[in-house]
Amino acid sequence: MTTPDYTTRWPAKRLLFAAVAILILVSGGAVGAVAVSLSQLTDARLLVLEQIGPARRHVQELSTAFVNQETGVRGFALSGRDDFLAPYTSGQADERAALDNARGRLGSTKPEYSAALDQIEQYAIEWRGSYAEPLIAQVRARGPNAAAASTDQGKELFDRLRGAADDLEGKMAVDVDAARAKLDNAANVVLWVTMSVGALLILLIAIVAIVLYRILIAPLAGLAEQVRVVSSGDFAKQVDVPGPREIVMLGHDIDAMRLRILGDLESVREAHERLDTQSKELQRSNAELEQFAYVASHDLQEPLRKVASFCQLLERRYGGQLDERADQYIGFAVDGAKRMQVLINDLLAFSRVGRMAREHTIVDLGELVNQVVGSLSPAIQEAEASIDVPADLPSVRGEASLLGGVFQNLIGNALKFHGTEKPEVRLTVERTDGFWTFTCRDNGIGIDSEYAERIFVIFQRLHHKDAYPGTGIGLAMCRKIIEYHGGTIWLDTDQDTGTTFRFTLPVVEESETPNE
Higher-scoring residue by pLDDT: 128, 18: 128
Q: DSSP of 239-293, one letter per residue? A: ----SSHHHHHHHHHHHHHHHHHHHHHHHHHHHHHHHHHHHHHHHHHHHHHHHHH
All domains of the chain, ordered by start, with CATH?
6-223 (1.20.120.1730), 356-512 (3.30.565.10)
Nearest Cα neighbor of 442 from 470, 420, 411, 409 is 411
Residue 506's pLDDT is 92
Which amino acid, residue 338? K
346 C-beta neighbours (distance < 10 Å), count = 19
Residue 147's pLDDT is 56
Handedness of CA 103, 108, 109, 113 (dihedral sign): positive
Max mean pLDDT among 124-133, 276-285, 307-316, 451-460 falls in 124-133
Return d(Cα 211, Cα 372) in angstroms, integer. 84
Q: What is the mean pLDDT of residues 19-27?
A: 72
Nearest Cα neighbor of 395 from 515, 219, 244 is 515
Q: What is the pLDDT of residues 408-429, one digit of tens each?
A: 888 888 888 777 788 888 999 9
36 C-beta neighbours (distance < 10 Å), count = 14
pLDDT for residue 466 is more than 90: no
Rounded to the nearest angstrom, the gap between the alpha carbon of residue 409 and the centroid of all alpha carbons in its chain is 57
Residue 435's pLDDT is 92
Query: For the ranges 176-185, 334-343, 439-448, 460-469, which has the lowest average pLDDT?
Result: 460-469
**Interstrand relation of 424-432 and 395-398 (parallel, antiparallel or unpaired):** unpaired
Q: What is the pLDDT of residues 388-405, one digit of tens each?
A: 889 888 999 988 888 988
Return d(Cα 85, Cα 97) in angstroms, integer. 19
Higher-scoring residue by pLDDT: 511, 100: 100
Rounded to 10 degrees, the C-alpha dihedral 58/62/67/70 comes to 160
pLDDT for residue 504 is more than 90: yes
Q: What is the pLDDT of residues 344-380, one digit of tens each?
A: 666 666 666 656 656 788 999 989 999 988 888 888 8
